[in-house]
Amino acid sequence: MASIKRIGVITSGGDCGGLNAVIKGIAREAYALGVESVVIPNGYAGLYNLVDLPEVVLLNADRVSRIEASLAGSEAGHSRVKISKIADPRKYERIKEGLKKFGIDALIISGGDDTGSVVVDLSGRGIPCVHVPKTMDLDLQPYSVGGDSAINRIAVFARDLKTTGLSHNRILVIEVFGRYVGHTAFRGGVGAEVDCILIPEIPVDFDYVYKHMKTTYFARIERSDVRAGTYIIVVAEGIQNANGEMLIDESAGVDAFGHKKLAGAGRYVRQQLERRLKKDPAVLKFMKRVGMYAPGVYLVPEVREVTPGHLVRSGHSSAFDVIFGHRAGAVAVFLLLEGKTGYTVVNVIGDKIYYMPTSEAIKRMEVDLNEVALFESLGTCFGRPPRKYDYELIETAEPKRRHV
């Protein structure tokens, strides 16, 4: 076993659910094994500035008991700083000086793909690091803490929107985080039984979305004894058109990792639907037929967009993320003490701890379009004419467990 007496804990990238459980898992396992753990605050910005800090917070039993694992966000704080981008030629020496100052022998770092690339970088420079996968986007190869919490929150928001949608007979578009993949939009949308889910993996055919919306929405109101109906769309912030262009507001700028800030997909979808509703002569006839029409005032159904933004990763963590976080944090300590560096925790099943090189773990995982086809066969619109669900039957004695 490598001689590790003190571990530094870092959380980095966007915050989300389950991170406090990761911190507690690390601290409690380390304590049980006679190793100290300390917080390096505010992600990689804190690591860079560690040498100037007067002290670090020791995660002893008392301090850890004051961290609430079920609260989302991170007690250790976050920043979107990538070490390689810091304009200081001495940055790596400075980091090593900081680690030396506080007697920190190794790091456990929880974050997504950008964070993981820094784990690879630091590990290659002789700083022992283990990575705990974290991102609400779920775009890593293994499950990442925060994904389940975000899915549950998206499902609750989308489900709750139905009450106002039904009261006003509105078509509602809810834009959710997820960066360049649609995992959380897909699963949150299915969880809320919404009508349409638009994800970056499927270029949006707005004529098809309009057709699906019109058929579903018209029928709903016409069949209702009180003439009530709504149509709910969950749209992932990173949707694209058939040319691979993102349907976003280009003026939003970039973040500290250098990524475009994604915003505007919900508005884009709303505008596309409004344009078609206004041009379609069948809409006015429908409005008259169901008694919604008011001359000069109410000629077409309203479309509104809602953007919960950071709310999808705030508040409380799901029980699954609390469990996963505790477990992943704890076994990250085992990996470090076994001399592993540059690796990502994948899962724990019974007495088996699965891990993989961080360089592999951070390769982007997209939504499986076969799975989408299954939900298309159940009637959900994914912004294209439904594809056939092709399947294969496999009998197995050892089910492969991977959450969401």
How far is the CA of 215 from the CAs of 206, 372, 391, 402, in angstroms? 14, 21, 29, 36
- Within 239-258, which residues bind ligand F6P (CB under 6 A)? 255
Q: Are 389 and 380 in contact (CB under 8 A)?
A: no
Nearer to ligand F6P, 14 or 165 (CB): 14
Could you count the other beta carbons within 10 Å of the beta carbon of residue 184? 35
Residues 6+ apart with CB under 8 A from 287: 293, 298, 299, 300, 301
**Residue 118: CA count within 13 A, CB half-sphere:** 30
Q: Which class for 363: exposed (0-12), middle (13-18), buried (19 or more C-beta within 10 A)?
A: exposed
Nearer to ligand F6P, 32 or 311 (CB): 311
Q: Which x/- pattern, by CB under 6 A, does the window 86-115 give for ligand F6P?
A: --------------------------x---
Instruction: Please identify, among the stretches 54-62, 63-71, 172-180, 222-230, the one whose residues bind ligand F6P according to the rule CB under 6 A.
Output: 172-180
The minimum distance between CB 255 and ligand F6P, in angstroms, equals 5
* Amino acid identity at 304: R
Identify the active-site residue in 15, 105, 137, 195: 137
3-state SS assignment for residue 28: helix
The minimum distance between CB 369 and ligand F6P, in angstroms, equals 20
Q: Where are the beta strands (DSSP E) in 20-150?
A: 36-39, 57-58, 106-111, 129-133
Locate tokens 């993981």: which residue? 116
Q: Is 262 in the site for ligand F6P (CB under 6 A)?
A: yes
Instruction: Please identify, among the stretches 176-184, 206-214, 366-374, 375-383, the one whose residues bind ligand F6P according to the rule CB under 6 A.
Output: 176-184
Q: Which x/- pattern, by CB under 6 A, does the window 305-334 give for ligand F6P?
A: --------x---------------------
CA–CA dist 158, 151 (Å, integer): 11
Q: Is position 249 annotated as part of the catalytic site?
A: no
Q: Which x/- pattern, by CB under 6 A, does the window 113-142 give for ligand F6P?
A: ----------------------xxx-----
Instruction: Please identify, among the stretches 19-27, 54-62, 173-181, 204-212, the one whose residues bind ligand F6P according to the rule CB under 6 A.
Output: 173-181
Q: Is 80 in the site for ligand F6P (CB under 6 A)?
A: yes
The dihedrals phi and psi of 381, each to the nearest 5 degrees, come to: -90, 135
Which of 8, 14, 46, 133 is close enough to bind ligand F6P by CB under 6 A?
Answer: 14
3-state SS assignment for residue 232: strand
The dihedrals phi and psi of 379, each to the nearest 5 degrees, come to: 110, -5
Active site residue ranges: 137
Give me the residues that bind ligand F6P (CB under 6 A), please: 14, 80, 112, 135-137, 177-179, 237, 255, 262, 313
